[in-house]
Structure formats: C-alpha cells, structure tokens
Amino acid sequence: MEDLPNGFLNYPKKRPGFESAGDEIRRHMSDAEFGKVQTDYLESQKRALRDGWRVPDESASEPGELHLFSERRDAVKWGVDRKYRAQDVRSYMRIPSAGAASSGPVFDFDELDRIAETDRRWSWLEINLGAIQNNIMAIKATLDPATLFMAVVKADGYGHGAVPCAKTALNSGADYLGVATVDEAMEIRQGGIEAPILILSEPPLASIPLLLGYNIMPSVATVEFAVKYAEAADSIGAKAPYHLKVNTGMNRVGVRHEAVVDFLQTISFHRALQLVGTFTHFATADVQDTMDFNLQKARFEDALADMRAAAFDPGIVHAANSAATIRHKDVHYDMVRPGIAMYGYFPCPETYGALNLLPAMSVKARITQVNQVPVGEGVSYGLVHRSNGFAKTCTVPIGYGDGLNRALSGRIDFIMDGRTYPQVGTICMDQCMFEVDIRTRSGIGRIEPQVGDEVIVVGEQGNAFVTIDQMADMLGTLSYEVMIAFGNSRMPKMYV
C-alpha cells in the first residue's frame, strides 16, 4: 500500500474534501482488513480443534465484540510452535465486530493472565510432590503404627508451598500440620484443609479471634494468653484447645519444665481451656554429642510425670524433630514432627543414608543471552572473571533476588544437557552468567548453547548434580536457609 500514488505529486495543496485515488484504495483496503480478521478467527478455531486447544465460547463478554484467542497449554513443549503462539498478540485481544462503536482493540486480561509464569521470566522452582510423599512414607515406616505424624509446613512449606505440601502430607498419612504463624495457618485453612493445625509458639493476644474463627490451635506459654484465649472462647460458647509448650533447656519460648504444674494449676480454673497436647523442642538433636539432648529429654519426662501426678493429662506428647525422629526412637512419644526430612534433606551428617530421602526442590532457568566475550574482557560487576576467548558466556535470569546467594559467585556449577558448567562473574540481583567452553575436544563435540536452552541451577541430570547441601557447605550455613531463600523468592513454583 505504501507505494500507491497520492495524486498530488506536483501540487503543494489539495482541495478540502478531495480524496485521491490512492487514498480511496487505502481506505477500501482498511475496511477489508477487518473482514480478513474475521476470516482468520474462523481459521484459528479450525486450527484449535485440530491441535486440541480450547475453542472459546461464541458469546462475547460485551455486546458487539468478537473474541480472538486460544488458550495456550502449559504442557505444550517448548519450541517454535509455542514460541510463535506466545507472540501472537491477537490471541489475547478482543476485536470490535463490524459496525460496533469502539476505540480500537482491547486486551483480554483474563487471557493475558493465562500466559505461564515461566514464560514471563525464565527462572522457576520445580517441586516434586511425589518425592515428598516418598519421604513421608519412608519416615512413617520407622515409626510405631500408633505414632501420629505432624507435617511441619511452616515458612511456606520450607519454601516448597505450604498448601500443596500440606495436602500431599495428609494424603500420605500425616495427622497434624505444624506452622509458625497465624497467617500461615489461615492460608492453609483458606486452601480448603480441615486437618488439625498447631502454631508451634504462642501467638499475640490480638490474634485470638482468628484462632477461634479459623479453628487454629495455639501453643500456650503464658498465663495472660491462656486466660484471654479461654475467656474469648467461653463468650461464644466454644472450647479453647491448646498445646502446652515446655521449655526444657532451649530457652527460646515455653513454660519452664520445673514450673509446669504451678502454671497449669494457675490457669486450669477456666472451663473453656482444653489441654490437647504437651511438647518441647530439642536444641541439639542434630549434634553428635548427646549430653544436652539427654538432659532435655530427662527434664521433659520429669515434667510429664509431675503433670500426671497432679492429675493433669498431658494429652498428645511430642518432641521429635527430623533429627530426633531419625536418631532417637525413644523420643517418638505419641507424635513426631519432621520438617526438613519431609522435603528430602538429612538434618545432620549422623543421619545421612538412614532413610531413602528424595530432594523435592529443583531450581531451573533458561538462557536469555549468549555472548562470545573477547579474550581478556571481564564479566559482571567488578569484572573479576576474565574470558579466555574460547568460551561462550550464557546469561540466565536468576540472582540473589531469587535466593542464589551472592557469596556463591564463581564457586558453583550449573547443569545443561547432563554436563556441568562453571558459574562465572559476580552473581547479580536478577541475573548471573555461566561459561561454556566451545572448543572441540576428544570424545566431546563442540557445544553451542542457545537462547531458550534449559539450565539446572539445583538438581540433577544424568550423572551431573548440584545440591542445596553443597551450597550450604560453601556458605557455612544450613540447607534450611538456602532452601527457604529459593522457595520464598519471587520465582514461581511448578508442581510435578
């Protein structure tokens, strides 16, 4: 259309209202364009039926509008076809029908929201719920059949997603759920889960209405909270169930072990209070030396004996975290409280290999850019890494804003196509780089990384593996911290 004559090649002005032949042709071609859009829509429906995509309802959401979209399936394999469909912007718009008054195309935000999170930014967490089920079954196989199982899903299920993990745990035989905060418990209730939930420390007084409204059980450690909680429950004709937290030496929260009976005698006058369980937490269950562990165990059991002697039923007795569950069968009591082992990690070296645990979290990304950096030039902040000229530098969109600790810069490997490649340069907030040697070597063909290639930041492929434990060792910290940093970052979670 651009090369059509305008009819005014040698005239500086045109008469008002005059339409040149070229303008008339262009107008008619524009009028015909919408007819072509309608034809394209019908063809897209035919293709949708052929390709197994959903065909939208013929009824438009607003009068005079025609829907032009096709729902992209997350299961569509990455490739040219998926890439093309993602870029077909008309699939996410409503086009005004012929004759309708409209200011132009309008985006359908419901359809825009269907674009997969992994196509908005190429980094994500992959959570294997089957691994969590395997780990729970492996732990339960070591327990007495009568021993209850509390699945600890605090900190968003240790970064794995509290609601999906809670549902998987309950379907795998868990009896209770343990969380750290009222908000965590509320999220689980809002996820449609009705199993008993225990907050593992005493919450604030102002949260009492939430506890009663959402049927959440608190831990109790102070007289003030116990009385206020009981009064609130009694005012609506309800009970105030709780678990008593006993401080046996960790000195974080709880009623001192020698003062448990006095505490119960102080609050037991209230008819609404209902003691459901009694528990403590071991500070050194994951330490090789068991002296302090045994002291805490003795204090706890003395407190339980004192309670019973004073005619207080302790209810469900529990104390064993992951380390104690695996290492010390004598403290399984009525219920165990595994946390990190449920997600596939051993709590301490003394437990390695004791169970068949499978890590449930993988961290993945796709290459966003590939550069052949000239020899001697630097990479990333500070230019601390220099190119040898025989490698390609690949960028992936994951950084310390996503839980990949900056202190790991230049110390870890990534996996691509079953082989490891060194991460190079300083890890940035949103991105980092790794290097692929492109020289041909004996038995190994030339490697040509491409934009869109999948990279494993944490996980395994073939004989190659990168683990959260390795990263934790490099950082001098716990796998818990590394795992939760990834899990509570901005990366989306994909469940398999």
**Residue in the structure block whose two tokens are 């437990």:** 351
How far apart are the C-alpha atoms of 220 and 229, rounded to whole Å? Answer: 10
How far apart are the C-alpha atoms of 82 and 76, rounded to whole Å? Answer: 7
How far apart are the C-alpha atoms of 304 and 13, rounded to whole Å? Answer: 101
3-class DSSP assignment, residue 362? strand
Q: Would residue 239 show up in a list of annotated catalytic residues for this protein?
A: no
3-class DSSP assignment, residue 326? helix
Under a CB-based contact definition with an 8 Å cutoff, are residues 179 and 193 in contact?
A: no
Q: Would residue 154 show up in a list of annotated catalytic residues for this protein?
A: yes
**Residue in the structure block whose two tokens are 């609404």:** 272
Residue 494: alpha-carbon gap to chain centroid: 8
Q: Residue 166: what residue type?
A: A
Catalytic residue among 14, 36, 154, 480: 154
For the chain, the 3-state helix, strand and coil shares in percent, each to the nearest 5, are 35, 20, 40
Under a CB-based contact definition with an 8 Å cutoff, are residues 457 and 363 in contact?
A: yes
- Other C-beta atoms within 10 Å of 341: how many? 24
181 to each of 186, 219, 335, how far by Cα in Å? 9, 11, 21
Tell me the two tokens of residue 152. 């600890």
**Residue in the structure block whose two tokens are 């999948």:** 454
Degrees (nearest 5) of the Cα angle 459, 404, 177? 70
Catalytic residue among 36, 83, 352, 381: 381
Under a CB-based contact definition with an 8 Å cutoff, are residues 392 and 436 in contact?
A: yes
List active site positions.
154, 381
